[in-house]
């Protein structure tokens, strides 16, 4: 995808939705303008940009993630169900048209090069350990068997995107900040801080539950 540094890209603004590279995003296409957009992208390279829309201000973010249509099914009523896969991040340079759908000139963005790879790998291991602890502690609290996914990315940048995509709760603003971050170490460090904070909270709740097993949590 890096053959052109600047290109025109159809945009699909979505309220509080942040797509990360290599993450799957299913979508239901029903509005006429996005039906037209889907037809257009399927006739070219199957690419369009997913970008976060603020539901209150209706403003779009400046950075989003390119989505590639990997599967689609269109019904007799013209509505489509599609499966997309996140590709490279992009920055909006200029909106070039708004009808029949929004389209912009964008440039692809990448993370900066990291000099201290040993330090980055060490942080990656700490993040993975914290994630494992959070999953295990959550399982103890909910009496369920949870485990770290078998195919958890080993590459630090890919791991940082995976964690960003799987944050729980209404965290679109934090996800957008992680998507926009261009330093893998900084992104992982922020994720470690969040996971470590959650780990400490879960550990305290687990200790309380084990000490007072008859107490029911709200």
pTM value is: 0.89
Q: What residue ranges do the domains of the chain occupy?
A: 6-109, 117-211
Q: What is the pLDDT of residue 147?
A: 80
Spatial contact of 52 and 58, defined as CB atoms under 8 Å apart: no
Query: Which of 55, 91, 70 minimizes the C-alpha distance to 23?
Result: 70
The dotted CATH code for 6-109 is: 2.30.130.40
Between CA 120 and CA 122 the distance in angstroms is 5
Please count the CA atoms within 13 angstroms of the CA of 212 that sit on its side-chain side.
6
Q: What is the pLDDT of residue 2?
A: 45
Nearest-Å Rg of the Cα atoms of the chain is: 20
Q: What is the pLDDT along the chain (218 residues), one digit of tens a residue?
A: 444 589 999 999 999 999 999 999 999 999 999 999 999 999 999 999 999 999 899 999 999 999 999 999 999 999 999 999 999 999 999 999 999 999 999 999 999 988 899 999 999 999 999 999 999 998 888 888 878 888 899 999 999 999 999 987 778 999 999 999 999 999 999 999 999 999 999 999 888 777 766 666 55
DSSP 153: -
């Amino acid at each position: 995808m890096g053959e052109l540094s600047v290109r025109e890209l159809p945009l699909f603004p979505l309220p509080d939705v942040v797509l990360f590279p290599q993450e799957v995003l299913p979508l239901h296409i029903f509005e006429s303008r996005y039906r037209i957009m889907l037809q257009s992208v399927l006739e070219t390279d199957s690419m369009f940009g997913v970008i976060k829309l603020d539901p209150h201000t209706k403003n779009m973010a400046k950075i989003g993630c390119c989505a590639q249509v990997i599967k689609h099914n269109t019904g007799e009523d013209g509505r489509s169900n599609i499966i997309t896969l996140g590709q490279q991040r992009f920055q909006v340079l200029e909106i070039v048209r708004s009808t029949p759908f929004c389209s912009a000139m964008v440039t692809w963005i990448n993370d900066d090069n990291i000099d201290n790879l040993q330090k980055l790998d060490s942080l990656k291991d700490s993040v993975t350990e914290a994630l494992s602890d959070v999953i295990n502690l959550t399982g103890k609290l909910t009496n369920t068997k949870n485990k770290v996914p078998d195919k958890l990315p080993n590459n630090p940048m890919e791991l940082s995107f995976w964690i960003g995509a799987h944050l729980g709760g209404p965290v679109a603003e934090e996800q957008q900040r992680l998507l926009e971050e261009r330093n893998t170490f900084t992104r992982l460090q922020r994720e470690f801080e969040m996971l470590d904070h959650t780990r400490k909270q879960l550990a305290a709740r687990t200790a309380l539950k084990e000490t007072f097993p008859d107490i029911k949590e709200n």
